[in-house]
A and B are shown apart, each in its own frame.
Chain A
Amino acid sequence: DAKTTQPTSMDCAEGRAANLPCNHSTISGNEYVYWYRQIHSQGPQYIIHGLKNNETNEMASLIITEDRKSSTLILPHATLRDTAVYYCIVRVGNTGNQFYFGTGTSLTVIP
């Protein structure tokens, strides 16, 4: 099963870009990279996902290296409401139907 490695915590100044790295060196060719975040007492919130091309949506951008062994989630203009735990996930399970959530990165946006 492909696992992920993320820094335990990061700080970011409000209004600046937050760049959250993730290593997934054992990812296989058909596994997608997903990003979620979780704010205390709420369920995980879907942010973005990708296979090998860079992706962008209204929340964030996802940059995946050419060898697919790592990726970076970019929040272009961080706000205080972006303070949360961010999870980088590679789908696992026999049919890709289970998510393995690690410990994630606790992002604190500082005023």
Chain B
Amino acid sequence: GAGVSQSPSNKVTEKGKDVELRCDPISGHTALYWYRQSLGQGLEFLIYFQGNSAPDKSGLPSDRFSAERTGGSVSTLTIQRTQQEDSAVYLCASSLGGGRNQPQHFGDGTRLSIL
């Protein structure tokens, strides 16, 4: 079946602009995660959605970052007034549930470059 789909695959924008990144999770997966990966670094957790529960936003680095998940499916990560340090690969993952025994399945990410 279809995996996690992210768009765009690449995004180049000027410092100060707002960007929106989209994630389509695997159908039927109730849990959705956003991470970012800087060059040569591990994954940094950003935010987690599980069903209708309030999202875990503990990983968002600043108030310029926000995310929503409409209808329990598609999610959008928004970065306002982008800065050069926001340049990274933004990865989305989904899992069948939020339990510890549920693997997360990742998309191929959006490579964001801030000029």
Contact = CB atoms under 8 A, between A and B. Distances in A.
Say whether A and B bind each other. Answer: yes
Given A32-B100, A98-B45, A43 B109 contact: yes
Interface residues of A, number: 27
A97 B50 contact: yes
Contacts of B43: 44, 99-101
B33 to A, nearest CB: 7
Nearest to A41: B108
B83 interface: no
Contacts, number: 59
Interface size class of B (residues with CB under 8 A): 20 to 34
Contacts of B61: none
A91 interface: yes
A43 B108 contact: yes
A46 B33 contact: no
Contacts of B78: none
A99 B48 CA distance: 11
Given A44-B43, A45-B106, A102-B42, 14 more contacts: A34-B103, A43-B4, A43-B93, A43-B106, A49-B103, A91-B100, A93-B45, A97-B50, A99-B35, A99-B104, A100-B42, A100-B43, A101-B37, A101-B42
What are the 7 tightest A-B residue pairs by CB atom distance, in nearest-first order? Answer: A43-B106, A101-B42, A96-B100, A101-B43, A98-B45, A43-B108, A46-B103
